[in-house]
Structure 1
Amino acid sequence: MSDKLKVNMNEYLPLRDVVFNTLRQAIITGEFAPGERLMEIALANRLGVSRTPVREAIRKLELEGLVVMIPRKGAEVARITEKDLRDVLEVRCSLEELAAELAAERMDEEGKAKLDKALQEFEVAIESGDNAAIADSDMEFHDIIFDATGNPRLIQIISNLREQFYRYRLEYVKDTDYHIVLLNEHKELVNAIESGKKEEARQIMKKHITNQEMTVIRNIKEEY
């Protein structure tokens, strides 16, 4: 367990919600590894709070599926299973295919400039080898495609699922051999979207998400 965990106090939120948000973010970003035990006393001491808000936060995290309770062991970070991954990526693939198609139809010159810049920043992140930076740049790249759809309902649905997507995004960027594939697929997406090729953009996005799924499943099988 890392010593970097810090609670970000917010005067507008109850302490239990602050603790919940802190632990949730630590799980999503991989600071707590799948299978890692969450000890109430240790967490309370690190966060400088009593055990009560930690216990309440762990219960909420269990309801979200981020934590599981193991008999005679207690709470631990939920492992990423192949079924969980497929469930999440089925939804993501459908939404992102639609977004790519709509973006190819609707993206204006300002959007194209933003997409070109995001591609450059993603390439810099890939060269840096910093997995967190790669995941963040990847998310920003896709956000520009979502925004270009001009469909606030679609954007909201994707936003609601952002953190679930992010957890898996971190998993596939761990595979350094896959980085060049990610970059090339982003370049293909930019070319298709900026050329207004809707069906091509949809198919490239489908391939993009499918490749991510296969990469993470392979890594899960190697780890477990």
Structure 2
Amino acid sequence: MLLTKEATLDLYFPIDDSLTIRDQIYHFVRQLIMDGHFSHKDRIVEAQLAKKLNISRTPVREALHSLEREGLLESIPRVGYKLRSMTRKDVAEICEIRIVNETLAAKWAIQRITPELVPMLEENIRASEEMARKGNPRKFVGLDGKFHEIIQRASGSERLVELCMLLRDSMMLCRVKSIYTSETVLEALKGHWAILHCIRHCAYDEVGRTIREHLNYAKQNILKVAFPED
């Protein structure tokens, strides 16, 4: 069990000899964050993490610093780290930048379209629909990210892929379990089908509007659940 200051988590740390210890810790903690294992009340304590994993504190400290620089964690003096706090302004800003970047990715993907692109996207959407029907909407998180990543990689620009994924990961800090209901997943998938329609028919001018509508829906859903008091 991994003890944070306010939370206890089941912990399995896979070993990957192709990476340094520091990089393994970085990817491990980052995945815990993306999977929603930490709440904003939890504290990630360097010494406790190092002790649990039976490694020195130096690679743990370096990994946590990297996650802080990436904008996923923030440091609390003499305590440890916590998830970076997000505001309504942050969510709106990230969403607007995502719209610009992902529209560009989709347009470049249309310009470079291959025979494999449309079937890959369609398979992803159908898998998401199946998860929703089976009552596993939380599994939509990974499939949703994969849908957008397929389009981004089809753009042919690794730099654009990195920017898009960084912004999406930042948005994940506001994702909460209640967002992922079968109803919200199926509604989001309408946006995926619309984006796929644009790509299938090379609707270069229409795809930007479709992506804006899709990401604005996601933004409003996040704001409603993550900031209910506003």
Q: Which amino acid aligns with 1:179?
A: V
Can you list the C-alpha shifts for 1:141-177, whole angstroms capped at 9, x where unaligned?
223323444xx22x43223542541453581774124
> Does residue 1:201 correspond to 2:207, yes or no?
yes
TM superposition shift of 1:180: 2.1
Structure 1 runs not aligned, ≥5 long: none
From 77, 81, 91, the equivalent of 2:83 is 77
Structure 1 counterpart of 2:151:
145
Structure 1 counterpart of 2:159:
156
Question: Where do 1:53-202 residues align within 5 Å?
Answer: 53-71=59-77, 73-149=79-155, 152-153=156-157, 155-166=158-169, 168-169=171-172, 171=175, 174-175=178-179, 176=181, 177-202=183-208
TM superposition shift of 1:72: 5.4
> Equivalents in 2 of 1:188, 1:172: separation in Å?
25
Q: Which amino acid aligns with 2:219?
A: E
With a CA cutoff of 8 Å and minimum separation of 6, indicate the structure with the bigger relative contact order: 1
Structure 2 counterpart of 1:43:
49
> CA distance change for structure 1 residues 108 and 49 in 2, over 3 Å: closer, same or farther?
closer
> CA distance change for structure 1 residues 58 and 160 in 2, over 3 Å: closer, same or farther?
same
TM superposition shift of 1:207: 0.7
> Equivalents in 1 of 2:206, 2:108: separation in Å?
12
CA RMSD of superposed structures (Å):
2.8
Q: Which moved more, 1:191-200 or 1:179-188?
A: 191-200
Q: Which amino acid aligns with 1:50?
A: S
Q: Which moved more, 1:205-214 or 1:193-202?
A: 193-202
Identity fraction in percent:
27
TM superposition shift of 1:37: 0.6
> Equivalents in 1 of 2:200, 2:192: separation in Å?
12
Q: If each structure's helix is expressed as a fraction of its own residues, which one has the higher value?
A: 1
Can you list the C-alpha shifts for 1:8-38, whole angstroms capped at 9, x where unaligned?
3233433233222222221232212223111
> Does residue 1:7 correspond to 2:7, yes or no?
no
> Does residue 1:52 correspond to 2:58, yes or no?
yes
Q: Which amino acid aligns with 1:112?
A: V
SS at match of 1:198: coil
> Equivalents in 2 of 1:5, 1:190: separation in Å?
38
Q: Which amino acid aligns with 1:116?
A: E
> CA distance change for structure 1 residues 164 and 223 in 2, over 3 Å: closer, same or farther?
farther
> CA distance change for structure 1 residues 128 and 223 in 2, over 3 Å: closer, same or farther?
farther
User: What TM-score results when the alignment is normalised by the length of structure 2?
Assistant: 0.80
Q: Which moved more, 1:170-179 or 1:129-138?
A: 170-179
Structure 2 runs not aligned, ≥5 long: 1-6
> Equivalents in 1 of 2:25, 2:216: separation in Å?
35
Structure 2 counterpart of 1:19:
25
